[in-house]
Structure 1
Amino acid sequence: MRAWNRPLVVFTGAIILLVPVCLGGLLLDPRTLGGAPIWAKPLKFSISFALYAPTLAWMVSLARADRARHVASVAATVVAVASTIEMVAIVGQVLRGRASHFDVATPFDTAVWAVMGTSIAVLWVANLVIAVVLLRERSLTPSVAWGVRLGLLVSLLGMAVAFLMTSPSGFQIAAAKAGEGMPTAGAHAVGVPDGGPGLALLGWSTTGGDLRIGHFVGLHGLQVVPLVALGLLLLAPRLRVLRSETVRVRLVVITAATWTGLTLLLTWQALRAQPLLAPDALTLAALGGLVVVTALAVGAVLARAPRPTDREAVAA
C-alpha cells in the first residue's frame, strides 16, 4: 500500500492533540458564546477533522497510477492547509472571545470570516478533485472502490449544505433595516435566531431548524459508506450471499443512496424550520418511506443474489 499523504497525517496528529485542549477549555473556561460554552465549537470541529483527515489520507493512498497519485496528493495537501487555516481561525477567535463563523462586527472579524469562507470553498474543490481521481481508479476491489467513490460524493453533498448557512437570515436583515446593524451575516438556525436552546454539546437547535445536522450527517458519509463496503468484504467468507461481488456493489450503492436521502431529508427538515426532535407528519412520512425503500432494495438484492463465480469467490 502506498504511504498516506504526509500533510494530512501531520494535520491529524495535531488535531488529535487539540481535542484534550478543547476539553480542558470546556472544564476550565466558564465563558459562553451564542448560548453555548465557548470551547464547544473547536471541540466539535477537532473531533470531526480527526475522523475526516485520516480517512481522506487513506483514500488518497489508494491511487496507483503516478499521475493520479500526484494529483490526489496535491489536492490532499491543499485540504490539509485549508483545514489548518480553518482550525487556527476557530481557536484564535475563541481566544479573543469572538465568534469565528458569520462574524462581521469589526473589520478584523470580517477578514477572519472571509479567510475561513475561502478556505472552505477551496477545501470543497480539493475534495472534488480527489473524488474525480478515485472515480477513475481501477485497481481496487469493485465494492470497496464504489464505497470510496460514493463516500466522497456523499461527503461533498454534506459539505455543500454549509453554503446554505452563509446568507444573512431574515432576523439579521430585519435588524439591519431597523438600524441595529448586522454584526453577523449568515446563520445555521432556520426560523429562530442563532444562539437559542440547543442539544447538549452539539448545540443543534431544539426550537427551530438547524442546517448543521444535514451538514454533519452528509460530511461523515465519507466514513460510513466505505466502512460498509469494507464490512461486507470482511463478512463475505462467512456469509455465502455476500461472496458475490455484484451483491456487495449493489449493497454499497444502496447505502450511499440511503445516506444521501437522509442528508437531504435532514436538510429539508431544517429549511422548514423544524427541530430535529420535533418532526411533523410529513417529515416522519418521508423518513418512513426512506426506511421502507431501503429495506425493499436490500431484500431484492439479497433475494436475487447470484451464485458466486470462482473469480468472485477468490476476490471475496
Structure 2
Amino acid sequence: MTKTWHRPTLWLAAVMAVLALGTAIGLLVDDRVLQGSPLWLKPFKFSVSLAIYSVTLSWMLSLPHRGRRITTALATLVVGIMAVEIAFIVASTWHGAFTHFNQSEDALNNALQFAFGFVMVMFAANIVLALVFTFQRAVDRPTMWAVRTGTWLAIAGMGIAYLMIFQFDQGTMATDAAGRTVELSSGHSVGVPDGGPGMPITGWSTMGGDLRVPHFVGLHGLQVMVLLLFGLTALKLTDRAKLRLVFIAAASYAGFLALLTWQALRGEPLVHPGFTTLAVAAGIAVATAAATVRVVKTGKAVPLPDRRPALQR
C-alpha cells in the first residue's frame, strides 16, 4: 500500500506553526501577565506542542496498517477537537482570561469549558488508535514497537493531566490579566499556589511540584521513540538489536516518566530534586546505559562474505 500522510493532521500542523509565530509575537508586544507568566505563553506552548504532535500522527498513519478507515476517521476527529479547543484558548487569552479550571459564568468561558469536555473523546480516540497499532504487523518489528510504545507513553502523558483536577478544592480565587477576580477549580502546582516563580520559557514551578512536567514528557514520548527509531536506522545493527534498544528506551522513558510524576506529587520542584529522586534517576540511567552498551556490543551487523570469484569482484 502506498504511503499516504494524513492530510488533516498536516493542515493542523501548518496552522499551528503559523499560530506559534503569531503567539510568539504576542509574547513580545503584549506585556500582560497571567499568574506570573506572560499571557501568551500558554497558547504558544500549546501551538508548538500540537504542531509536533500532528506531524508525528500524520507520519504514523502513513505506515501500512489494517483498519485505515478507522484510524483516518479517528485522527480527523482528533484534529477537529484540537482545532476548536485551540481557537477558544486563543480567544480567551485575547481577553486576558484563564483558560483551564475557570469557573466564570461569562459566555466565552462557558463555551470554552464545554469544548474542554470533548477532551475525553480525544483521549478515547487516541486509546483506540493505540490499540489498532498495538496489533499491527505490517512493518518491521523495531518500527512497530517504537510506534506502539511511543503511543502508549503519549497516552500516559495525557492521563497525567487529569491529576491536576485533584490539586486543590473549589473556591480558590485568582486575578486574571484583565483584573477580574475569578474562581478556579484546580491547578497544576503541588505544595504551592499556581503562579509562583517558574522556569524560563516553560513556566514550570521552581518552588513546588508541577504536574505539567510529567504531562509534557509523557505527551511527547511518541516523538522521542520515533526519533530514536530514525537514529537507529543509521547504525549498523541487526534488527534484533534495534528492537532490544527500542524496548530499553521505552522502559527507561517510562521509568523517568513515573519518577517525574512521583516527584511532582511529592511537591518537589524539577530543578531542586532531593536525594531520593537523584538516587532513583541515577539507578535508571545506569541500568539504561549498561543495557544499551551490552546490546550495541553484541548486536553489530556483520556483512555477508563476498563469495564471488576474485576475477568477478
TM-score for both structures, normalised by structure 2: 0.89
**Aligned pairs (5 A) from 1:190-229:** 190-229=190-229
Larger deviation, residues 100-109 vs 271-280: 100-109
Cα offset, 1:145, TM superposition: 1.1
Closer, same or farther in 2 for the Cα pair 1:293/1:112, shift >3 Å?
Answer: farther
Residues 172 and 184 in structure 2, CA contact (< 8 A), matched pair in contact too: no
Q: Is the 8 A contact 2:208 2:264 kept in 1?
A: yes
Aligned to 2:299: 305
Answer whether contact 2:248 2:291 (CA < 8 A) is retained: yes
Query: Contact conserved, 1:144 with 1:230, CA < 8 A, in 2?
Result: no
Please give the per-residue CA displacement for 1:58-100, whole angstroms capped at 9, x wherever unaligned: 10121433xx111110110011011112211210110111010
Q: Which residue of 2 aligns with 1:239?
A: none
Residues 116 and 207 of structure 1: CA distance in aligned 2, closer, same or farther (over 3 Å) = farther
1:23 aligns with 2:17: no
Q: Which amino acid aligns with 2:139?
A: L
Identity across the alignment (%): 39
Q: Aligned pairs, how many?
A: 297
Q: Structure 2 CA distance, aligned partners of 1:308 and 1:120? A: 49
Equivalent residue letter for 1:187: G
CA distance in 2, matches of 1:119, 1:234: 41
Query: Does 2:12 correspond to 1:11?
Result: yes
Q: Which residue of 2 aligns with 1:269?
A: 263
Which residue is equivalent to 2:242?
Answer: 248
Distance in 2 between the 1:266 and 1:123 partners?
A: 24
Q: Find the counterpart in structure 2 of residue 72 from structure 1.
A: 71
Q: Which residue of 2 aligns with 1:60?
A: 61
Aligned positions of 1:154-193 closer than 5 A = 154-169=153-168, 172=170, 183-193=183-193
1:97-136 alignment runs, 5 A limit: 97-108=96-107, 111-136=110-135
More off after superposition, 278-287 vs 2-11: 2-11
Name the CA shift for 1:259/1:34 in 2 (closer, same or farther; >3 Å).
Answer: same
Contact 2:35-2:195 within 8 A present in 1 as well:
yes
SS at match of 1:235: coil
Please state whether the residue corresponding to 1:183 is helix, strand or coil. Answer: strand
Q: Distance in 2 between matches of 1:13 and 1:144?
A: 26
Aligned to 2:51: 50
Q: Secondary structure at the match of 2:68?
A: helix
- SS of the equivalent of 1:234 reads coil
Stretch deviating more after TM superposition (201-210 or 289-298) = 289-298
Map of 2:272 onto structure 1: 278
Larger relative helix fraction: 1
Q: What is the CA-CA distance between 1:57 and the residue it aligns to?
A: 0.8
- Give the conservation status (yes or no) of the 8 Å contact 2:35–2:194: yes
Q: 1:287 aligns with which of 281, 299, 304?
A: 281
* Greater gyration radius: 2
Query: Which 5+ residue runs of structure 1 have no aligned equivalent?
Result: 176-180, 237-241, 311-316
Check whether the contact 2:167–2:189 (CA below 8 A) recurs between aligned residues. Answer: no
Residues 13 and 50 in structure 2, CA contact (< 8 A), matched pair in contact too: yes
Deviation at 1:25, TM superposition (A): 0.6
AA at the equivalent of 2:7: R
**Cα 1:185/1:110, change in 2 over 3 Å:** farther
Maintained 8 Å contact 1:103/1:109: no
Aligned-partner Cα distance in 2 for 1:268–1:32: 30
Q: Deviations over 1:177-231 (max 9, x none)?
A: xxxx970011100001111110112110011100000011111111111111121
CA RMSD of aligned residues (A): 2.1
- Give the deviation of 1:109 after TM superposition: 5.9
Residues 40-61 of structure 1: CA deviation (Å, up to 9, x unaligned): 0000111111111010011012
Shift of 1:309: 9.3
Q: CA deviation at 1:168?
A: 5.0
Partner residue in 2 for 1:140:
139
Q: Per-residue deviation at 1:118? A: 1.9
Q: Which residue pairs with 1:231 in the alignment?
A: 231
Q: Which amino acid aligns with 2:58?
A: A
The separation in 2 between residues aligned to 1:2 and 1:124, in whole angstroms, is 26
Deviation by residue 1:220-252 (Cα, 9 ceiling, x = unmatched): 11111111112112222xxxxx1x111100100
The CA distance in 2 between the partners of 1:94 and 1:307, in whole Å, is 54
